[in-house]
Amino acid sequence: MTVAQQQPQLVFGGIDSLVILAIYALMMIAVGWLAGRGRDIGKSVSDYYLAGRGLGMVTLFFTLYATQYSGNTVVGYAPQAYREGFSWLQSIPFFTLIIAVYLLFAPRLYVIGRRRGFITPTDWISDRFRSRAVTILAIVLMLWGLANYLLEQLVAIGHAVSGLTGGAIPYGWAVIGFIVVMLTYEWLGGMKAVAVTDALQGIMLMIGIAVMLVGALVLTGGGIENLTANIAANAPEKIGVPDAATNINWLSMLVIVAFGAAMYPHAIQRIYSSSSERVLKRSLGRMAWMPFITSGLVFIVGIICIDLYPGLEVGASEQLVGLLANDVASLHPIFYWAMILFFGAIVGAIVSTADSVLLSFSSMISHDIFGQYIKRDASDRAKVLVGKFTGIAMIALLLWVAWNPPGTLYQIFVLKFEILVQVAPAFILGLYWKRLSAGPVFVGMLIGAVVAGALTLTGNSTVYGIHGGTIGLALNFVICVVGSLVFSPSEETQRDIEEMTRLEKVAR
């Protein structure tokens, strides 16, 4: 008899879970207050958005970890593994490839950004190409990616709290409550508060994932050796060898996630926030092990749940982690308290990722749009205030969308990459190829984004298994290369590039 058939009584949703949630909320607000205490946090955009460029290795590592994974990795990826079966194994290598792409460009960008005083990702685009059209288009594409990513986190908060409390806290109230918490401590402490909460949540998230896996194994009743046989009997499509279309889809996903996630604006700002290039490289080096510890364990949990809870529909499967956590908690008081804490850590980690995204969104509005194109002589304090209030307005809009989410967490996850990945050639080629010029970069980004968006809006998100974002990226890359070979950069741009190269050599 499966766990789902036994229908155990839900153990969450009582006073314990509510107390843990309240404690987490108060802790995050306290961190925000402590991070901003004794400092005028709104006086400097560098202090507020980049933590004064002083993140050490431990804090930088965990804030990068929380940026890449968050609680949504647990809440969203376990259900995807449940729905797809063993073909979701791709979730492990695409996280590994993200780190490879970071190592390709992050150290070089850090050196230039430190010298030039970059605040936002598009500071690099503006500095490199000296083109208002290229800069504005990059800002629009990155803001689109951030808005989708923030929506993903808001939906995940609702699912996490509702599922893990057995519905005692409704989806909508969960989203509203933790939005208020997030806005409060981000307003108080800026990037410093975000980084510290990321570190705390990252540690608890890793521990919680391991405990949940142990609990899932216990629920199998020692029948793990029969797991694949049971899946083959009840859901053979989830265990079969992937066909050619699935393999093509894998490769396409690896491309857009590897390059798209490396273009996360909030992740790029963490590159700027590092206290040194050595700290950045060491943090990224340790991040290379995290896919196996995080997405690998989550994948196994999802596969085990195919046997534990057969036949769940898509909507029900989105609550899979909550269902499993309740059943694990019923095993023993130790598991109960471990799951209560894990449940809080998931919510906290999702909130930590959401505040990172919101902070980056606010910085681009205040620094790139308001500071560059609306009021160039604005003080840092004015820019920070504009960013804060714009963030509140954006949250209000996304809250309305999150009330009736447009798809599953995985669908929202893919949607943001389709557009965001189009800025990758400008970043990576721009750092290494002096001949890359503004005209082809603009046309490439525009056509890549239009193709990806058109395919998605017409219901053709994949063509023969290839994502619209991947097709757009390929066109984007070809246009950038061929166009730059035909049209050389201006003499002014060439001089600027040579100067950046000289400064980088001096810094090294």
Answer whether residue 287 shows pLDDT above 60. yes
- CB-neighbour burial class of residue 242 (10 A; exposed 0-12, middle 13-18, buried 19+): middle
Looking at residue 1, its pLDDT comes to 43
With contact defined as beta carbons under 8 Å apart, do 25 and 351 qualify?
no
Six token digits for residue 502: 């000289």
Ranges 172-186, 190-204, 254-268, 352-366, most confident: 254-268
Give per-residue pLDDT as tens, 468-504: 889 999 999 999 999 988 876 655 556 665 565 565 5
Give per-residue pLDDT as tens, 28-59: 788 777 766 655 555 677 777 787 788 888 88
Answer whether residue 155 shows pLDDT above 90. no
Answer whether residue 4 shows pLDDT above 50. no
Please tell me the distance from the alpha carbon of residue 226 to that of residue 228, in angstroms, as a whole number.
Answer: 6
Reported as a pLDDT band with limits 50, 70 and 90, residue 102 is very high
Q: Measured in whole angstroms, how far is the alpha carbon of residue 501 from the centre of its chain?
A: 31
Q: Is 463 helix (H, G, I), strand (E, B) or coil?
A: strand
Reported as a pLDDT band with limits 50, 70 and 90, residue 346 is confident
Inter-residue long-range contacts of 227-234, CB under 8 Å, 24+ positions, other chains counted = 227/303, 227/304, 227/307, 230/307, 231/85, 231/303, 231/306, 231/307, 234/306, 234/307, 234/310
Region 57-80: what's the mean pLDDT? 80
Looking at residue 445, its pLDDT comes to 94
Give per-residue pLDDT as tens, 215-242: 888 888 756 667 777 777 777 778 777 7
The secondary structure of 346-387, three-state, reads: HHHHHHHHHHHHHHHHHHHHHHHHHHHHHCCCCCHHHHHHHH
Six token digits for residue 304: 């085990």
Please tell me the distance from the alpha carbon of residue 81 to that of residue 89, in angstroms, as a whole number.
Answer: 8
Six token digits for residue 291: 């896919």
Considering only residues 280 and 237, tell me which one the structure prediction assigns the higher pLDDT: 280
Buried b (16+ CB within 10 A) or exposed e, 184-218: bbbbbbbbbbbbbbbbbbbebbbebbebbbebbbe
Which residues are CB-contacts of 414 (< 8 A; sequence separation ≥ 6)? Answer: 253, 256, 461, 467, 469
Please tell me the distance from the alpha carbon of residue 424 to that of residue 475, in angstroms, as a whole number.
Answer: 12
Please tell me the distance from the alpha carbon of residue 308 to that of residue 327, in angstroms, as a whole number.
Answer: 10
Region 296-321: what's the mean pLDDT? 85
Please tell me the distance from the alpha carbon of residue 404 to that of residue 114, in angstroms, as a whole number.
Answer: 42
Considering only residues 111 and 241, tell me which one the structure prediction assigns the higher pLDDT: 111
Answer whether residue 343 shows pLDDT above 60. yes
- H/E stretch holding 467 reads strand 466-467
Give per-residue pLDDT as tens, 406-464: 555 455 555 677 888 999 999 999 998 888 999 999 999 999 999 988 887 777 777 88
With contact defined as beta carbons under 8 Å apart, do 58 and 194 qualify?
no
Region 76-96: what's the mean pLDDT? 84
Q: What are phi and psi of 467, to 5 degrees?
A: -65, 150
Six token digits for residue 17: 């879970």
Kindly report the average pLDDT of the chain as a whole number. 80
Region 140-159: what's the mean pLDDT? 80
Query: Measuring CA to CA, which residue among 112, 126, 129 is closest to residue 506?
Result: 112
pTM for the full model? 0.80
